[in-house]
Amino acid sequence: MTYIAHKNNRLMIEGVDIANLAATIPTPFYIYSSATMRARFQSLKAAVNHPRVKIFFAVKANSNIAVLSVLGKEGANMDIVSSGEMKRALAAGIPGSRMVFSGVGKTDDEIAFALQNDIYQINAESLPELDAINRVAVRLNVKAPIALRVNPDVDAKTHAKISTGKDENKFGISWDHVEEAVRKVASLPNLTFMGLSAHIGSQITNTQPFVNSAARMEEMVARLRGAGHTIQRISLGGGLGIPYRGETIPLADFGKLVHAFAEKMQCDVELEPGRFLVGEAGVLITKVIYVKKTNSKQFLIVDGAMNDLIRPTLYEAYHPIGKVIEADTKATPQTYDIVGPICETGDFLAQDRPLAPCQEGDLIAIFMAGAYGATMSSMYNSRSLIGEVLVNGNQTAIIRKPLTIEQQLLWETIPTF
Ligand X SMILES: Cc1ncc(COP(=O)(O)O)c(C=O)c1O
Residues carrying an active site annotation: 343
- Cα 154 to chain centroid distance, Å, stands at 21
- Nearest Cα residue to 71 out of 101, 100, 42: 42
Closest approach of Cβ 10 to ligand X, in Å?
31
Specify the residue, 236 or 358, whose C-beta has the smaller distance to ligand X.
236
* Residue from the set 273, 304, 340, 387 that interacts with ligand X by CB under 6 A: 273
Positions in 181-200 near ligand X (CB under 6 A): 199
CB-based contact 121:101 (threshold 8 Å): yes
Region binding ligand X by CB under 6 A among candidate stretches 69-77, 218-226, 266-274, 311-319: 266-274
* Residue from the set 36, 63, 102, 163 that interacts with ligand X by CB under 6 A: 102
Q: Does 172 bind ligand X (CB under 6 A)?
A: no
Q: Does 237 bind ligand X (CB under 6 A)?
A: yes
- The set of residues, in sequence order, having a beta carbon less than 8 Å from that of 4 and lying 6+ positions away, is 11, 12, 13, 14, 33, 36, 280, 281, 283, 367
Region binding ligand X by CB under 6 A among candidate stretches 114-122, 268-276, 322-330, 392-400: 268-276
Specify the residue, 72 or 238, whose C-beta has the smaller distance to ligand X.
238
Q: What does the alpha-carbon distance between residue 396 and residue 35 come to, in Å, rounded to a whole number? A: 12
Q: Does 374 bind ligand X (CB under 6 A)?
A: no
Specify the residue, 85 or 303, whose C-beta has the smaller distance to ligand X.
85
Q: What are phi and psi of 354, to 5 degrees?
A: -75, 135
Specify the residue, 16 or 39, whose C-beta has the smaller distance to ligand X.
39
Q: What are phi and psi of 381, to 5 degrees?
A: 65, 25
Any idea what DSSP says for residue 161? G
Closest approach of Cβ 117 to ligand X, in Å?
19
DSSP calls for 75-116: T-EEEESSHHHHHHHHHTT--GGGEEE--S---HHHHHHHHH
Closest approach of Cβ 121 to ligand X, in Å?
12
Q: Does 202 bind ligand X (CB under 6 A)?
A: yes
* Residue from the set 165, 239, 304, 340 that interacts with ligand X by CB under 6 A: 239
Q: Does 79 bind ligand X (CB under 6 A)?
A: yes
Q: What does the alpha-carbon distance between residue 4 and residue 347 come to, in Å, rounded to a whole number? A: 26
CB-based contact 81:60 (threshold 8 Å): yes
Specify the residue, 96 or 237, whose C-beta has the smaller distance to ligand X.
237
Give me the residues that bind ligand X (CB under 6 A), please: 58, 61, 79, 102, 164, 199, 202, 237-240, 272-276, 371
